[in-house]
Structure 1
């Protein structure tokens, strides 16, 4: 009877051990299918000037840039943030700062994250945690909470989109304090 119990025990334990070893091999096979996600290029302390017809349209300053142009959905990452100055046709400036940014090739979208601050020479300032910039249409938008301060007052809300010069603004879920003295 004891021999039968030992054989029965061995009969049960070997398939279990086989499954454990297969699981280990399966995980190794899965790892082989993963591609390395490494940048195809890196740059430190960049200062890029973008021009159009001889006129500067933007200046981008960042401590680090990583280029992922060899991946399926290419993008450029700025892991330590950006300091961006945008110029309109009349030379008026809009200033953008964030702790992190990524620019997606083919979509003309820039994703700005972490203490995003956008201001202009008129004294307008918008602060939020995430903001997207559509480069083609020169349009900013977010669904995150924001604080917009202008010489006329302060607006808080969640969800906003606006032109880079703040001339066109569409906001959602807002509360505001406005100076009526003007």
Structure 2
């Protein structure tokens, strides 16, 4: 019986020593949640300056993240207004995300930009909108339908109202009139 008590005491002491000894050098790290902190449906956000509406953003779903970024997984519709509060242009895409640090948007999937006043429509698969520079741009293939022509090419730079645009590498057939 005495031998049993001694053996039990040794086993308990060894277990206590092993329990005190940190045999786990790398415990399982805590996984930080990086998903959205808020999700909202049927969103309408109005951007104004000096009490004048500049942009209306509409989306079926908006996911907001802790760092201020946002994602629009079901698409986005932007409406741009001129100083007279008239719609000047629109932008729509199947997916978009907002980068708060750069204050810019990225849109992809059936991106369509319409300049209402000029009657011009641009189509591409990806588009970046830099709010600070007030510029839209892409390095992807674009098609622009004007009132009289269809212009195509790779890459585009434009003001964010899609008034003054430039295709960086035009492709296709062009009609050039001979000077008289």
Q: Please indicate the TM-score interval, normalised by the length of the shorter structure.
A: 0.7 to 0.9
Instruction: Report the CA distance between 1:179 and its aligned residue.
Output: 7.7
Which residue number in structure 1 is paired with residue 53 of structure 2? 56
Contact 2:153–2:167 under 8 Å retained in 1: yes
Matching residue within 137, 150, 172 for 1:154:
150
Q: In structure 1, what is the Cα distance between the partners aligned to 2:92 and 2:64?
A: 20
Which residue number in structure 1 is paired with residue 88 of structure 2? 93
Instruction: Report the CA distance between 1:180 and its aligned residue.
Output: 8.0
1:108 aligns with 2:103: yes
1:1-182 aligned within 5 A: 29=28, 32=29, 34-68=31-65, 70-71=66-67, 74-90=68-84, 91-121=86-116, 122-176=118-172
**Matched position secondary structure for 1:35:** coil
Instruction: Report the CA distance between 1:146 and its aligned residue.
Output: 0.9
What is the RMSD of the two structures over their aligned residues, measured on CA atoms?
Answer: 2.2
Contact 2:79–2:87 under 8 Å retained in 1: no
Higher helix share: 1
Q: In structure 1, what is the Cα distance between the partners aligned to 2:76 and 2:41?
A: 12
1:109 and 1:124, CA in 2 relative to 1: closer, same or farther beyond 3 A? same
Task: Judge which range, 74-83 or 86-95, deviates more.
Answer: 86-95
1:170 and 1:33, CA in 2 relative to 1: closer, same or farther beyond 3 A? farther
Instruction: Report the CA distance between 1:173 and its aligned residue.
Output: 1.8
Unaligned runs of at least 5 residues, structure 1: 1-25
Q: How many residues align?
A: 150
Q: In structure 2, what is the Cα distance between the partners aligned to 1:166 and 1:42?
A: 30
User: What TM-score do the two structures reach when normalised by structure 2?
Assistant: 0.75
User: What TM-score do the two structures reach when normalised by structure 1?
Assistant: 0.74
Unaligned runs of at least 5 residues, structure 2: 1-25
Instruction: Report the CA distance between 1:118 and its aligned residue.
Output: 0.4
Q: Over alpha carbons, which structure has the higher Rg?
A: 2
